[in-house]
Structures are given as C-alpha cells and as structure tokens.
Amino acid sequence: MGAGIGDTVRVHYTGTLEDGTQFDSSAGREPLEFTLGEGVVIKGFETGVTGLEIGGKRTVRIEADEAYGPFNDELVHTVESEAFIEEPYVGAQVEIVAPDGTLLEGRITEVGDDGAVIDFNHPLAGQTLIFEIELVEVLG
C-alpha cells in the first residue's frame, strides 16, 4: 500500500524545466516533509507522491495549470522611478503593499528612463515542471 491522503511523507526531489534547466533540488538537504492532502505543495507534485511505496521513484510532468498557473500579463506593471528608495535594477526582488494591505512580491524585469517593469507572477508561472521524486519515508 502506497502513500495516501493524510500521510506525512518525506521525499527527495529534483525539479527541472522542459529544457533541462534545474530550478530546485533537495540534494544535500533534508528531504521535503509534508502531509498529503493539505495542499502545502503544488497539486501535481502531491499527485506524483500519492501511491508511491517507500524507496519508490517517479518522474512527473506538471503542466502550468497544475503548478504555478499560466503567466498573467495583468501582473506586470511599470512603476515610476521616483517610487524607489534605491536605484532599481533588473533581477531585484521587490515588495509592495497593495491598497488592501496585502504584501505583493515581484521582481524587476526591465529598467528604463520612465521607471521599472515589475513582474508579480510566480517565477515559474507558465512553465511545465518535471520532477524526479523519491519517497524516503512515510511518518503516518
């Protein structure tokens, strides 16, 4: 009987994009621990672990809608240069408080004379993800 909903599991994994670029891995760290069915990890990853036996391995391909969703152009905004305390640069991580008090995290993707373009999409939005998963332990 494999891991099922309600089980707390520990897994090792390596995540890559379709072009083979690695974006995350548990190699050299403690295994990732979570409870199946709680929605702590992306749906496609959880589905990939469900049913695995201890020591079992599986490769799962997760389309964007089962991962971080499609890329949303409405989450890309230009902000005037005067709004920045420090000089903006491409790759900088920024936090902005929305009018409702929600903290929004984004990254600067472009800097020009008029300001900076900030992308508030998850960095993996719109991407198909491929995970190599190994179930290390089921804690119950």
Residues 14 and 52 in one domain: yes
Q: Has residue 23 got a pLDDT over 80? A: yes
Q: Domain total for the chain?
A: 2
In this structure, which amino acid lies at residue 68? Answer: Y
- Please check whether residue 58 lies inside any domain of the structure: yes
Residues 38 and 77 in one domain: no
Half-sphere exposure of 31 (CA within 13 A, CB side): 16
| Selection from 31, 46, 48, 38 nearest residue 6 by Cα | 38
pTM of the model: 0.80
Cβ neighbours of 134 (radius 10 Å): 18
Q: What is the pLDDT of residue 140?
A: 67
Answer yes or no: do 132 and 64 share one domain: yes
- Is residue 2 assigned to a domain? no
Decide if 1 is inside a domain.
Answer: no
Q: Could you give the percent of the chain with pLDDT greater than 90?
A: 76
Indicate whether 28 and 52 sit together in one domain: yes
Shared-domain flag, residues 32 and 99: no
Instruction: Give me the CATH number covering residue 106.
Output: 2.40.10.330
Same domain, 21 and 58: yes
**pLDDT category, 48, cuts 50, 70, 90?**
very high
pLDDT: which is higher, 54 or 87: 54
Secondary element (H or E) of residue 49: helix 43-49
Same domain, 63 and 88: no
Domain that holds residue 28: 8-69+124-138
State whether 78 and 112 are in the same domain: yes
* Cβ partners under 8 Å of residue 59, min gap 6: 130, 131, 132, 133
The residues near 118 (Cβ < 8 Å, ≥ 6 apart) are: 76, 77, 78, 79, 94, 96, 106, 107, 108, 109
